[in-house]
Amino acid sequence: MNPQYGTPTNTPTPSQLQHLKLALPGALARSQASKGKKNNAARAGALTPLQFRHLVRSKHFTKPTNGQCPGYLQCNLVVLDKHDTAAFDFMLFCQRNRQACPLIEVVEGPIVDNDFVAEGADLRTDIPKYCIYRDGKLETEVEDATDYWPEESVAFLIGCSFTYDEALVSGGIPLRSAEEGKNVPMYRTNIACREAGSLRGNMVVSMKPIKARDVAKEVEITAKFPHAHGTPVCVGCPQAIGIHELDNPDWGDSIELRDDEVPVFHACGVTPQSILLESKVKFAITHAAGHMFVTDRLSEETV
């Protein structure tokens, strides 16, 4: 296995794959036949998004999704009660802060009812880990959000930078977090987001260590993915955006930064979680940092 796509700590094991094949004897073959061109975009031997979501749903994959299903769009999740004024405020927040919150789709209820992202997917179970928030505080983290899901919900799917991991690897830029079997490091910043109704706060960023000679290439590649946060918000000098301890991220894991590398920071889909906390929203469900919803949509497809 190519280590750039993960290590045994965040890659399905042979026994997990066997469980999946036994649980879904016909669905996987139908999925492979129906996807055609889409499967050609993925790395040979990798799971299709449908296969991966079923592995997640059966609780046989509960780890971060960096490096999984290369070539496909991954999304952050925010779920609110559709009758809460915070739902409209959040829609407006996404419109005003598109780099931090590139809105891909809005779903009423827990089941995706169209093939724009992943028809038939269950947003309550098809993400490896969820965060439950009440009154601006993290109540718990769960692997199944069914018992917490609002009776009348609206779910926002927001593009994630994991989406362009395949493009970076193809361009000769490795994924340090996947190589080390870790979650990506994420940090609060001093970059203020535009307010929307009751919602306010600062941007959260993720960090990738990039060789100095490859920074221009990284910017060129990520510019092609505005639906997944796009180009960096800062290259080097983390202090300029309020980050003073790279080894102590606010979310995720610390990863190695080598002598010939610079830290490159991209807007991150954990921004909504930080905003929801600061704004003390009554109730919300989100993905846990680094644990994304993997869609059927190719990463480079226009949204």
Map tokens 């109704």 to a residue: 197
Domain extent, residue 178, equals 170-273
The whole-number average pLDDT for the span 18-39 is 39
The radius of gyration of the chain's CA atoms, rounded to the nearest angstrom, is 18
Domain assignment present for residue 126? The answer is no
Predicted confidence (pLDDT) per residue in 93-104, tens digit = 999 999 999 999
Q: What is the pLDDT of residue 26?
A: 34
CA atoms within 13 A on the CB side of 130: 25
**Six-digit token pair at 109?**
């209820």
The whole-number average pLDDT for the span 257-275 is 95
Q: Is the pLDDT of residue 185 over 50?
A: yes
The whole-number average pLDDT for the span 156-179 is 92
Q: Is the pLDDT of residue 32 over 90?
A: no
Domain assignment present for residue 201? The answer is yes
The whole-number average pLDDT for the span 274-295 is 96
Question: Helix or strand or coil: residue 53?
Answer: helix
Question: Helix or strand or coil: residue 231?
Answer: coil
**Six-digit token pair at 209?**
């260590």
**Six-digit token pair at 112?**
């995706």
Domain assignment present for residue 58? The answer is no
- Tell me the average pLDDT of the chain: 87
Spatial separation of the C-alpha atoms in residues 202 and 194, rounded to whole Å: 9
- CATH number for the domain spanning 250: value is 3.30.2040.10
Spatial separation of the C-alpha atoms in residues 187 and 151, rounded to whole Å: 33
Spatial separation of the C-alpha atoms in residues 69 and 293, rounded to whole Å: 11
Buried b / exposed e over 265-286, threshold 16 CB at 10 Å, is bbbbbbbbbbbbbebebebbbb
The whole-number average pLDDT for the span 93-117 is 95
Fill in the DSSP letter of residue 208.
E
Domain assignment present for residue 178? The answer is yes
How is 106-166 classified by DSSP, letter by letter?
Answer: EEESSB--STTT-TT-BTTTSSS-EEEEETTEEEEEES--GGG--SSEEEEEEE-GGGGHH
Q: Which helix (H) or strand (E) holds 30?
A: helix 27-35
- Residue 161's alpha-carbon distances to 25, 102, 208, in angstroms, are 32, 10, 11
Measured in residues, the chain has a length of 303
The whole-number average pLDDT for the span 193-202 is 97
- Residue 18's alpha-carbon distances to 12, 51, 125, in angstroms, are 10, 12, 20
Domain assignment present for residue 292? The answer is no
Q: What is the pLDDT of residue 302?
A: 61
Domain tally, the chain: 1
Q: Is the pLDDT of residue 43 over 70?
A: no
- Stated pTM of the model: 0.83
Domain assignment present for residue 228? The answer is yes
Q: Is the pLDDT of residue 155 over 90?
A: yes
Domain assignment present for residue 303? The answer is no
Q: Is the pLDDT of residue 169 over 90?
A: yes
Question: Helix or strand or coil: residue 266?
Answer: strand
- 296 vs 18 pLDDT, higher one: 296
In sequence order, the β-bridge partners of residue 187 are 205
Q: Is the pLDDT of residue 2 over 60?
A: no
Domain assignment present for residue 265? The answer is yes
Q: Band the pLDDT of 300: cuts 50, 70, 90.
A: confident
**Six-digit token pair at 75?**
């999304």
Q: What is the pLDDT of residue 21?
A: 39
Q: What is the pLDDT of residue 303?
A: 58
